[in-house]
Amino acid sequence: MKYLQTTFVIILAAFLSISCSQNALDMGEDINLTNASELSKEELSTALKTVIVNYPVTAVNDDETTEEVNSDEQLGKIISRNTRPKIEFPFDITIDGEIYTIEGINDLREILKRPKKNRPPFRLVFPITVINLDDTTTVIEDQETFKAYQQSLEEGIKPNFQFPISVEDKDGNITEIENEEAFKAYMNSIRAEHMEERRPPFKLVFPVTVINADDTTTLIENEETFKTYRETLEEGVKPNFQFPISMEDNEGNITEIKSEEDFKEYKEANKPEKRR
């Protein structure tokens, strides 16, 4: 099961309505997600990054015939060849390693509204062995048992693994870790990759000029001064640039931005999800 493909399918499904009988998820009729009781686009994009459909599920075609679906690819084909395909309830999804049974559209909404946990981009491959304070060892067979073990530790105490252990990254690659030093090096490399992924895909070229609330202007020479300036703004107030300004992307390409409208278009076109 592939994260990106499955996320696309779930996003599509969550943005679409259900049949009157409430027995199937209808993937062909738009619904409004702006009400407080429903999911916003921002909530969806945050919550759905680690959602996996647990196959098989049952799909309903336009002619009311049903078929068993066993993969993202198969579900994608059903969606493309039908005008109003549906997925029958109940079906199971996995979020952050936990399995949920979806009995109806409200179940799906409630689960996806939950705050996304800050989880590392890898997981332990079970079973693992931990060394206790008295030098005895305990074999831990699964994630649920590991959670209970972590909760039994005193505050500030981390699990003491018996190496080697194996970890699986978000792409399914498994790495064997030989010792504590190798584990620290692996963690550091993961953190570095995470920071790189979060780095904005463009930056301002300094100096820039901003227009103040009293219509005076301020010349800002560098990033540090710009940070200080932003801290002086009231919450929710954005810098008001005097155009033109220039932006530099991650490859070093510089683009001149001539107006606020051009700036909005540039930011939209260079969002990380747009650039993948």
What pLDDT digit, counting tens, does each position of 132-187 carry? Answer: 989 999 999 998 899 889 888 888 888 999 999 999 887 788 999 999 999 999 88
24: amino acid identity, one letter: A
179: CB partners within 8 A, 6+ apart: 163, 164
50: CB partners within 8 A, 6+ apart: 3, 95, 96, 116, 119
Percent of all residues in the chain with a pLDDT value above 90, rounded to a whole number:
30
211: CB partners within 8 A, 6+ apart: 217, 240, 241, 242
Torsion (CA) 175, 178, 181, 182 in degrees, nearest 10:
-20
Structure tokens at 11: 């996003």
DSSP conformation class of 38 = S
Distance CA 71, CA 110 (A): 25
End-to-end CA distance of the chain: 20
- Asked if residue 131 has pLDDT above 80, the reply is yes
pLDDT in tens, 20-43: 344 555 444 433 333 333 344 444
What pLDDT shows up at residue 10? 44
Of the two residues 176 and 14, the one the predictor is more confident about is 176
Least confidently predicted of 7-11, 30-34, 241-245? 30-34
Is the dihedral angle over the CA atoms 229, 233, 235, 240 positive or is it negative?
negative
What pLDDT shows up at residue 181? 93
Of the two residues 105 and 35, the one the predictor is more confident about is 105
pLDDT band at 84 (very low <50, low <70, confident <90, very high): confident
